[in-house]
Amino acid sequence: MTVTILHNPRCSKSRQALQLLKDRGIEPGIVEYLKTPPDAAELGRILDLLGLAPRDLMRRKESVYRDLGLDDPALGRADLIAAMTENPILIERPIVLAGGKAALGRPPENVLSVL
């Protein structure tokens, strides 16, 4: 089974999730999503796998969230996904993808549910 982690090496939760995988003998593909953000279609697929609405995957305390007015209830799914692809700092992390499933690593142990 292929395992991929959307990872930010500066994030302690992301590092913990990666270590949990490695401790189980899994060497996941690592996507540093701040350098290589998912496109809109991939982010939409990830949201569907997670069963989340875009705002549920957004880091709402980031200044860019306020600066872009992303709390506007008139913004739809496509608008919010576009904001995340253009500003990947808005994407909550880590996210692990495996076997057609996805898990958000908040807390890091959640990622084990897709293995």
Marked catalytic residue, from 6, 7, 10, 11:
11
Angle at 104 between CA 98 and CA 105, to 5 degrees: 100
Residue 11 annotated as catalytic: yes
- Asked if 14 contacts 38 with a C-beta cutoff of 8 angstroms, the reply is no
- List, as one string, the DSSP characters of 9-26: TT-HHHHHHHHHHHHTT-
Which residues are identified as catalytic? 11
